[in-house]
């Protein structure tokens, strides 16, 4: 079975066929999905989706591009949604210096606040980092890693160096690998996929974005994860079945979902 650890099925790209697509996933070998909130609208939509589909769980949090909408009242709303038994992580949270929609200080403030929320609720985090590798790592080390209530987490859509991936693993985090690993120019990510322990890798789509080759540029979905699994298997010189089984079990462990 395949576990998609990071999807955005609340996105408008799925408005026309969301229900039919989601209902089709189990028969195509996708056993579980974590839908990830990125804004208050996305968090609320995720909260609804995770209650509608048995195999779908939720990560609730605010993306760095959207932290301008956060205040103490909305943080309490996030806490309430995270109290649901199918809410399995705080995310996606982090830093984004590529779009720079919010000031770096605002991003850091609310990243820290959401990491502290995760600690207080003993939940893992799902981390977004774009063009902010060192600041993200430093914030995680300062506000999350090894603190009381620490439950690890996933560095989503990993784009850093092999050396930094090793440091995240040492701190107790896992690395999220998606469609980008199939791109010809993804040399460093392929090195990461080869280097870090298999038990620290999970697979993800970030759908509707980042579809793997041969569907690059199209709407992504969990149905395309076999391409990611096959590429990781090729890189590591093991079978796709071994990658699929390991990443499924890794995700169950991180998100603390009981194995059937």
Mean pLDDT value of segment 11-31? 98
Task: Please tell me the distance from the alpha carbon of residue 82 to that of residue 88, in angstroms, as a whole number.
Answer: 8
- Structure confidence by residue, pLDDT tens digits, 240-255: 999 999 999 999 999 9
Tell me what pLDDT residue 5 has. Answer: 98
Is 17 contained in some domain? yes
In angstroms, how far is CA 151 from the centroid of its own chain?
Answer: 15
Q: Is residue 200 part of a domain?
A: yes
* Residue among 80, 94, 29, 82 at smallest CA distance from 57: 82
**Where residue 209 sits, what CATH number does that domain have?**
3.20.20.140
How far is Cα 150 from Cα 144, in angstroms, rounded to an integer?
7
243 falls within a domain: yes
pTM above 0.75, yes or no: yes
Confirm whether 260 is domain-assigned.
Answer: no
pLDDT (0 to 100) of residue 259: 85
CA distance 69 to 232: 38
Percentage, residues of the chain above pLDDT 70? 100
Among 5, 3, 1, residue whose Cα is nearest residue 176: 5
166 within domain boundaries: yes
State the pLDDT confidence band at 84, using cuts at 50, 70 and 90.
very high
pLDDT tens per residue, range 113-150: 999 999 999 999 999 999 999 999 999 999 999 999 99
Q: What is the pLDDT of residue 21?
A: 98
pLDDT of 260 > 80? The answer is no
In the prediction, which pLDDT does 41 show?
Answer: 98
Q: Does the pLDDT value for residue 92 go beyond 90?
A: yes
pLDDT digits (tens, 9 = 90+) for 189-241: 999 999 999 999 999 999 999 999 999 999 999 999 999 999 999 999 999 99
Domain assignment present for 69: yes
Residue 86 lies in a domain: yes
Task: Give the count of domains, the chain.
Answer: 1
Task: Identify the domain containing residue 159 by its residue range.
Answer: 2-255
Q: What tokens appear for 162 in the block?
A: 């092999």
Mean pLDDT over residues 16-41, rounded?
98
105 within domain boundaries: yes
* Mean pLDDT score of the chain: 98
């Amino acid at each position: 079975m395949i576990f998609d650890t990071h999807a955005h099925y609340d996105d408008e790209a799925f408005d026309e066929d969301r229900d039919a697509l989601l209902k089709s996933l189990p028969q195509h070998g996708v056993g579980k999905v974590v839908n990830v909130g990125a804004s208050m609208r996305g968090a609320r939509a995720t909260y609804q989706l995770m209650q509608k589909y048995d195999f779908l769980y939720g990560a609730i949090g605010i993306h760095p591009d959207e932290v301008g909408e956060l205040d103490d009242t909305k943080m309490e709303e996030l806490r309430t949604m995270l109290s649901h038994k199918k809410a399995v992580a705080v995310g996606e949270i982090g830093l984004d210096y590529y779009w720079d929609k919010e000031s770096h200080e605002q991003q850091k403030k609310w990243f820290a606040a959401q990491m502290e929320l995760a600690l207080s609720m003993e939940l893992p985090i799902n981390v977004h980092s774009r063009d902010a590798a060192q600041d993200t790592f430093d914030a995680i080390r300062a506000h999350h890693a090894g603190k009381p209530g620490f439950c690890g987490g996933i560095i989503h859509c990993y784009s850093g160096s092999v050396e930094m991936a090793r440091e995240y693993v040492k701190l107790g985090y896992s690395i999220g690998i998606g469609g980008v690993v199939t791109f010809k120019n993804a040399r460093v990510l392929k090195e990461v996929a080869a280097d870090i322990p298999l038990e620290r890798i999970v697979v993800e789509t970030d759908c509707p974005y980042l579809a793997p080759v041969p569907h690059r540029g199209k709407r992504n979905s969990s149905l395309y994860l076999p391409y990611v699994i096959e590429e990781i298997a090729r890189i590591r010189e093991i079978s796709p079945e071994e990658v699929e089984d390991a990443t499924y079990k890794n995700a169950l462990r991180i998100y603390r979902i009981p194995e059937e």
